[in-house]
Copies of this chain bind each other. A is one copy, B any other.
Amino acid sequence: MPEYPTALGASSLEKITLLGQDLARDVMGEVGFGELAFWLATQRRPGKGETRVFEAVLAALADHGFTPTAIVTRLTYLSAPDSIQGALAAGLLGGGSRFLGVTEDCGRFLHHALSTKDRPVDDELALEIVRAERAAGRFIPGLGHHVHKNGDPRTPRLFEIAREEGKFGPHLALFEAIGRVHPQVLGKTLPLNGAGACGAALADLGLPLELLRGFALLARAAGLIGQLAEELRTPVANEIFLSVDLDNRPVPPAGDSHG
């Protein structure tokens, strides 16, 4: 007979527990939503400082305007207004390697670098890492931003918050050091991407690396509900659809030449 262990939600006739707590008495009204999300993911209650850093990360990633994910959620709602869950899910499906992946990639990269080099984080270590990546012809995840070429304003702010809360750990430290030393190797100065800094901060909070993208998706879920709310109020999806559809240009099938 299989048995499925879980420490998450459970209920009996009289009581509901979540994470071993009495949901109604000890969680509702007592635990903020960011704090709860952290607790659910780690199964330990975060401290105030951890929650503040975590919520700063979620704020940094929640919405960036008309990204592909936002457009997708609005178009799906236009096409299937009967299914809010479908519109939200469709938008989240854009949360893959390219637009939302830098958070995960950067966290993983820093973690890997730290665990192979068993040394204190300093500029020399960072230099060594940047040189090795350069030699291997690889980009460093989180270095560079297509808009904020002079610096992503989220990055110094996240450093500051993490320092205030005593949560500036080795991942953030290494990321910051990479920011200082990379011009020596690359011959140009690139900004430290805010979404990358978020990955470093989440790793310093001890959150599971496999789920760093998951937290970016959670943040984005709140953003996409904002997009839906705005679409209800000021619809643009039909105009977006028409702007594409009316500008289509029929061309002959690609395979005709082979035919």
Q: Which A residues between 235 and 259 are near B, CB-CB below 8 angstroms? A: 236-237, 239-241, 243-245, 247-256, 258-259
Q: Are A32 and B7 CB-contacts (below 8 A) given A72-B75, A217-B88?
A: no
Among residues 59 to 111 in chain A, which have CB atoms less than 8 Å away from a CB atom of chain B?
59-60, 62-72, 75-76, 78-100
Kindly name the residue among A2, A40, A78, A161 whose own CB sees the greatest number of chain B CB atoms within 10 A: A40
> Which of A11, A29, A160 has the most CB atoms of chain B within a 10 A radius of its CB?
A29
Assess the B72–A13 pair: CB atoms within 8 A: no
A-B contact pairs, 13 of them (CB 8 A): A2-B236, A3-B248, A16-B148, A18-B62, A24-B60, A27-B59, A43-B253, A71-B75, A71-B244, A85-B93, A208-B232, A211-B229, A217-B221
Known contacts A76-B93, A81-B96, A93-B87; is A3 also within 8 Å of B254 by CB? no
Closest Cβ–Cβ distance, residue A20 to chain B (whole Å): 5
Contact status B40-A223, CB under 8 Å = yes
Q: Does A136 contact B (CB under 8 A)?
A: no
Q: Given the interface contacts A40-B225, A72-B75, A79-B69, does A28 sit within 8 Å of B94 by beta carbon?
A: no
Complex Cα gap A156–B23 (Å):
12
Of all chain B residues, the one with the shortest Cβ separation from A25 is B157
- Nearest to A34 among chain B residues (CB) is B33
Interface on A for B, CB 8 Å cutoff? 1-20, 22-25, 27-29, 31-34, 36-37, 40-45, 52, 54-56, 58-60, 62-72, 75-76, 78-100, 147-154, 156-158, 160-161, 164, 194, 208, 210-211, 213-215, 217-219, 221-223, 225-230, 232-234, 236-237, 239-241, 243-245, 247-256, 258-259
Task: Tell me if A85 and B84 are in contact (CB < 8 A).
Answer: no
